[in-house]
Structure 1
Amino acid sequence: MNLPKLKYILFYKDLLPHATLGAGWCVSKKHIRYISRTNAPLAKVAQYQKPDWNRAVSEAEKIVGYPTSFLSLRWLLSDEIANVALHLRKLVGSNHPLLKTAKGLLYNGKNNMQAWGLIVLLVSKAAGHTADVPDLEQDKAAGVLHSQRALAEVTEMIRTSHLVHKGLVNLQHSSAEDSSDMMFGNKIALLSGDYLLGNSCAELAGLRNQELVLLMSSAVRDLAEAEFVGPRDKQNNPLPSRPLANVEFKHLNDKGLEPLIVSEALGNAQAEWTLRHVLSAGSLLGKSCQGTLKLAGHSVELQKQGYLFGKHLALAWQACLDREPFMPGSSGPFSLVCAPVMFHLQHDPSLYEEIEKGQDDVLDVDYEAVRKAVLEGPGLDLTQKLQREHSQAALDVLNQLPPSDARTALANIIAAIQDI
């Protein structure tokens, strides 16, 4: 065993909790479902105390039985990833985006989307499984199926590979003195992202479920397509489309496996924002929740509800994060396709003149001028309304499941998101 792998093991050895789990049965109108329950009291309901993101995640991980941030510990300890970690040190001091991505993946905080594996497992545990699932397939200690835990790992690996690939830099517009470091960073980002995506495909194929492979493949397609929606600067940073006047919001037809129609949404603030983030986030989380219910043998109707839960949760999460750059004391650049900016552009199209300055480089935009304009307009209130709508839609789906500690933990996570 090499030194990097040994350091990982020594560091994480004492962090894996041990939970004593029991079991129970839940009878519904359609199926007899196995619901795993902990011997500890149910998670505290968020409405009785101020929601806290770290507490909500910590309680949820106890219900699942181990920190799901380390779901991918098996591949994290591989020689390939250990070598990537060593090579990343060579990029310290450069401005390569891969360093920022790596930092975001390693530090667990409210912005860290590595909680997606946790959400998939909580949905698995809250819904239970049908009685005809073989005993060998059940992980009775965690209260989920072995295949569901594998799918949670696949979800995290696909998400991580996408974030790593987004760190690639267009070298045609880099100075000669920076090109060496940037070229090296691009190689690391490309190869490590491919490694994670390749491993996720291999693990997904190992589940031997053709319908699930098709479902998750469409989610990977959506992630790729998200990088080509609307105008972009020369580094592929997204820019909002020019706002159209008197357009009506139409809900996306995203309940099947077919690609979404992009042209119908561009220029409409809510439709374009929804399209961008369904492709880049909601599709993967939604289809992972749908897939985990498929593995448990649930009806097609319940699987569709699982997709809606994951999609609305991801969109609520994104709407909350979009508000952060406009909180008191905030400064510096932010995403120009965040909901407050897009809503303000619909309200005052004249701001688009400032946005157009970013066609060569988004850093050419006067972010403080954009921030000031947004703070004086209706964008923040409309974003908060959008977040509440998606949070409520996720809760409506969640309330269809039988009461359990896993369902309560998911409700706590939704409540904590609203407090971000």
Structure 2
Amino acid sequence: MMSLSKLNSIIVRQKCVPLASMATLKSANAHFTTNTFLSAKLAQEKKPDWNRAVSEAEKIVGYPTSFLSLRWLLSDEIANVALHLRKLVGSNHPLLKTAKNLLYNGKNNMQAWGLIVLLVSKAAGHTSDIPDLEQDKAAGVLHSQRALAEVTEMIRTSHLVHKGLVNLQPSSADASGDMMFGNKIALLSGDYLLSNSCAELANLRNQDLVELMSSAVRDLAEAEFVGPRDKQNNPLPARPRPDIVEYKQFPDKTLEPLVVSEALGNARAEWTLRHVLNAGSLLGKSCQGTLKLAGHPLELQEQGYLFGKHLALAWQACLDREPFLPGGSGPFSLVCAPVMFSLQHDPNLYKEIEKGQETVDDVDYEAVRKAVLSGPGLELTKKLQKEHSNAALEVLNQLPASDARTALANIIAAMQDL
């Protein structure tokens, strides 16, 4: 059995090998077969929890990994936002929950998105023609890749902040009070982050990358118009279709919009469509973009997109299961995978969903939870999560063995620990 110290020395030597072409990658696969197995085995034996997996990953790419660093938190603009947020305490405005999630240390930690992009950057390496001044040799990534990781987080955070806007009715008593003030802060804060992400993206001076990330922003916006909604724009699942036709509108490489209408009512296709638009597109195209910045061939860039997309979908399936674990209570997303699979299994459950057309608060969540727990929804969601996790690992295992690749494998493994 190879010693751990010897394994580590092999990994350290191999992580510095640049990945110049798809042909080089394929030839390297045969050489790294044994070490790939050992690294995967090492990742499994550790059985990492989420917090430890993220903590170890951050050490690999260096600090700061997030735009939420001292450079941002101590800026005048963010300080002013924090000051205004204090005025909303006690108002129950959704923006407060979003702000809490920004710093929440758990599986819905938004800051991990930039970390994923940096880990992919380090795991793949870069071509030999990248100028020395562009390289952050201490972290093993390019300065442009770190900037793209920040752009990814800012785009995602601005989208989530904008989703916290409350649709105030003209007759509402809060139309001119705390809710209106919270809406102004949410709108301006989201716009500030989005405008800064556009400025940082433009500074990279890469037209193809700008087009790629712009299409991801388009997908985020389109996600807010998929399927039925209540008056607060909370999503509701579409009525289940009696005839389930295979949906084939998820191409591996395209900048074109996805076809929405054909997916609605088909549980798996609708869930996938919603979350490719809402998350998978941004993370996938960010991983694709970071490989573009490193000078890798188009084939590997497209594999980067698939890795990010499948990882985001596995992540979402993991989050969708949490409200139905023992001890779970309170509201949950009505377009989560367990609910949508349960609706496909028992279309009569949709009568309960229809009560939420005015507001999702009218839905009897405990009745829906009971139906989910008694049906195949949770098991199908677990299967869905495993499929996307395996798809992400399949792409990941094409890269040379390294500490960054092991960290990504540990993050995927931590999702399974539910």
TM-score over 0.5 (shorter chain): yes
2:325 to 314, 324, 327: 327
The answer as to whether partners of 2:174 and 2:180 remain within 8 angstroms in 1 is: no
- Cα deviation for residue 43 of structure 1 reads 10
Match of 1:141 in 2: 138
Contact 1:46 1:411 in 2 (8 A): yes
Contact preservation (8 Å) 2:67, 2:150: no
The ranges of structure 1 where at least 4 consecutive aligned residues each deviate by more than 6 angstroms after the TM superposition are none
Change (3 A) 1:45 1:251: farther
The structural deviation recorded for 1:67 is 4.7
Bigger mean CA offset, 259-268 vs 175-184: 175-184
Identify if the C-alpha distance between structure 1 residues 121 and 367 changes in structure 2 by more than 3 Å, giving closer, same or farther. Answer: same
- The 1-side partners of 2:164 and 2:19 are apart by 48
Letter of the 1:367 counterpart:
Y
Task: For 2:202 and 2:40, locate their aligned partners in 1 and report how far apart those are by CA, in whole Å.
Answer: 35
Residue identity opposite 1:312 in structure 2: H
Q: Note if 1:127 corresponds to 2:124.
A: yes
Classify 1:168/1:150 alpha carbon distance in 2 versus 1 (closer, same or farther; 3 Å): same
Q: State the Cα distance separating 1:29 from its structure 2 match.
A: 6.3
Match of 1:85 in 2: 82
Whole-angstrom CA distance in 2 between matches of 1:30 and 1:177: 58
* Deviation for aligned residue 1:76: 3.1
**1:94 is matched with which residue: 91, 94, 100?**
91
Displacement, 1:246?
2.5
Q: 1:217 maps to which residue?
A: 214
5+ residue gaps, structure 1, are: 1-20, 34-41
Say which SS state the counterpart of residue 169 (structure 2) adopts: helix
**Secondary structure at 2:16's aligned position in 1?**
strand
- Give the distance between the partners of 1:350 and 1:78, measured in 2 at CA: 53
**Partner Cα separation in structure 2 for residue 205 and residue 27 of structure 1:** 26
Q: Distance in 2 between matches of 1:27 and 1:165?
A: 39
Q: State how far apart, in whole Å, the 1-side matches of 2:174 and 2:198 are.
A: 38
Identity across matched positions, percent: 84
Q: CA deviation at 1:110?
A: 1.6
1:24 is the counterpart of 2:16: yes
SS across alignment from 2:181: helix
Measured after TM superposition, the shift of residue 66 of structure 1 is: 1.8
Return the offset for 1:93.
Answer: 0.5
Residue type at the aligned position of 1:229: V
Q: Which residue of 2 aligns with 1:412?
A: 410
**2:285 counterpart letter in structure 1:** K
TM-score, length-scaled by structure 2: 0.90
Q: List per-residue Cα deviations over 1:261-286 (Å, max 9, x = no partner).
A: 10110010000000000000000000
- Asked if structure 2 preserves the Cα contact closer than 8 Å seen for 1:249 and 1:270, the reply is no
Q: Shift in Å at residue 30 of structure 1? A: 4.9
Equivalent AA in structure 1 for residue 256 of structure 2 = E
State whether residues 308 and 394 of structure 1, in contact with CA within 8 Å, keep that contact through their aligned partners in structure 2: yes
Q: How many angstroms apart in 2 are the aligned matches of 1:174 and 1:85?
A: 30
Distance (Å, rounded) in 1 between the aligned partners of 2:24 and 2:242: 52
Please give the alpha-carbon distance, in whole angstroms, between the structure 2 residues aligned to 1:72 and 1:281: 23
Separation in structure 2 between the aligned mates of residue 401 and residue 99 of structure 1, nearest angstrom: 40
Q: Secondary structure at the match of 2:212?
A: helix
Are the aligned partners of 1:123 and 1:406 in contact in 2 as well (CA < 8 Å)?
yes
Following superposition, the deviation at residue 136 of structure 1 comes to 1.0
- Structure 2 spans left out of the alignment, 5+ residues: 1-11, 26-38
Q: CA deviation at 1:113?
A: 2.4
Equivalents in 2 of 1:408, 1:236: separation in Å? 40
Rate the CA distance shift 1:162–1:193 in 2: closer, same or farther, 3 A.
Answer: same
In the alignment, structure 1 residue 301 sits paired with structure 2 residue 299:
yes
